[in-house]
Homo-oligomer: A and B are copies of this chain.
């Protein structure tokens, strides 16, 4: 069995002009970045009266191995293409942190991959690096402002703007900067987040235009002055230069699936600590120029899908026609609470034995995520992402459960078979898009910030209540008093459970969501609450994926999968 990398390296790719033509794009609407990747000009976006069907892919709570949301997005796109539809996949660009950490590549798997997978998994067209540079330019200008007299009167301890790197580097979570001497900055405590968690990344994903990007950058609040008033990137005269750095990054990237459908790759992952959704511009571009757009939202429906609804769709005004909820036999077995799996290690052999009972014992988690999708008013399709080790009786448990709930369900074998293996799913998804979607938000913007947080906790996570640290509660009140009461709320929360505790399984209720800190993302347009021990900078494991990667003398990459 060839590796994902070998399959991708062996593929014959369509010329980019041909991929662009599938979207009705002229050659001059594509700027090449490498032989098989291009930036799409924003001029290709137009006011369209018609649009294609809009399908969002979400999932149950994944194991650390991931349950195949990306492969399903790609495979479903391939399947739609095979069925004669003009289909476009919209995906987030992988972060170098996980690529070199646990995951290796994140461009799909098997016959359901975006290619060139090496470009997608590494620097691609440099968007993440541009976000890193723009974010860190603002940070340097904040510290530089302190150094040169602090005319704006920024209170150093109030500075909330850290720095970012696209790397899993836990040693940068808590740092002291500005040591040395008088010429080496003002000493203070600070932090690095991973680039995907940067507010700049979310701004990029939510911006409707260059002008909107520029304005949002200007609204970023870096900290507060001695009177407690917000100090913005505009106040520091940094927003213009940040926009200059992000000029190219605002344009979606065009790649292709292994079966030659267009794949728009834009913005960052991390549905746990960011929105975890690709950009509004990419979705809109696809919708204007395709019969159907399959877009991915990160992690379980409690995370990426919730943000898709309450932040992305609320901002864009677009509403999805259907949601695909990816489930695997192994995930439900884990949600039975009877097994533990670890990234980078083989599954425990007892998990591979035929055991429909274990699958059934995990169904509470699937039910929970289907409830979230149903509450949002979006027709759902359960996609059983089939693995070679699955047993038909185990699939049958899931199918039966879906039928009992009146939810569409299909087994999909896109990893092994490509678009051919996704035809059942294609049929169910197309049918679901005919049902009629009536998008409902979890909360109203008029709700108080604490109310929004409580609605997320109870209606989406299944918690009984929210508990804020005194500092977090005070900050929420402060943000409201400063005029930010109308913003949505985002919770940074583990993706490994529906609660704030990563080891929880199934769909626990009766627990309390602990919020230790809240941050203001005024440019992106939300308030950001950190739950439990959630970190905004991951660490590497004992044996990072990087250890097995190499470059041959001929320049061939090995070990990236």
Instruction: List residues of A whose CB falls within 8 A of some B CB.
Output: 31-35, 42, 96, 100, 122-123, 125-126, 129-130, 132-133, 136-137, 139-141, 143-144, 147-149, 163, 165-180, 183-186, 189, 209-211, 214, 237-238, 240-241, 243-245, 247-248, 539-542, 544, 546-555, 557, 559-560
Contacts of A546 in B (CB 8 A): 137, 141, 237-238, 240-241
Tell me if B31 and A34 are in contact (CB < 8 A). yes
Tell me if B123 and A248 are in contact (CB < 8 A). yes
**Docked CA distance A125–B144 (Å):** 28
Contacts of A174 in B (CB 8 A): 178-180, 184
Contacts of A552 in B (CB 8 A): 210
> Looking across the interface, which residue of chain B has its beta carbon closest to that of A181?
B174
> Looking across the interface, which residue of chain B has its beta carbon closest to that of A237?
B547
> Looking across the interface, which residue of chain B has its beta carbon closest to that of A188?
B171
Q: Which of B31, B144, B169, B550 is within 8 Å of A143, CB to CB?
A: B169
Tell me if A241 and B210 are in contact (CB < 8 A). no
Contacts of A245 in B (CB 8 A): 96, 122-123
Tell me if B248 and A553 are in contact (CB < 8 A). no
**Docked CA distance A248–B122 (Å):** 10
**Docked CA distance A209–B554 (Å):** 9
Q: Which of B169, B173, B176, B555 is within 8 Å of A42, CB to CB?
A: B555
Q: Which of B133, B177, B557 is within 8 Å of A166, CB to CB?
A: B133
Tell me if B35 and A136 are in contact (CB < 8 A). no
Give the copy number.
2
> Looking across the interface, which residue of chain B has its beta carbon closest to that of A172?
B177
Contacts of A243 in B (CB 8 A): 550-551
**Docked CA distance A172–B191 (Å):** 11
Contacts of A550 in B (CB 8 A): 214, 240-241, 243-244
Extra 19 A-B pairs, beta carbons < 8 Å, given A96-B133, A122-B247, A171-B185: A32-B33, A32-B34, A123-B126, A123-B245, A123-B248, A136-B169, A140-B168, A140-B171, A148-B541, A148-B542, A171-B184, A174-B184, A176-B176, A176-B179, A185-B539, A210-B552, A237-B548, A238-B546, A240-B559
Contacts of A133 in B (CB 8 A): 96, 123, 129, 166-167
**Docked CA distance A548–B241 (Å):** 8
Chain B nearest CB from A417 CB (Å) reads 30
Contacts of A35 in B (CB 8 A): 31-32
With A35-B31, A244-B551, A551-B240 as contacts: A143 and B171 at CB distance below 8 Å: yes
Chain B nearest CB from A73 CB (Å) reads 25
Leading 3 A-B pairs by shortest Cβ distance: A240-B550, A171-B185, A129-B129
Q: Which of B33, B169, B544, B549 is within 8 Å of A33, CB to CB?
A: B33
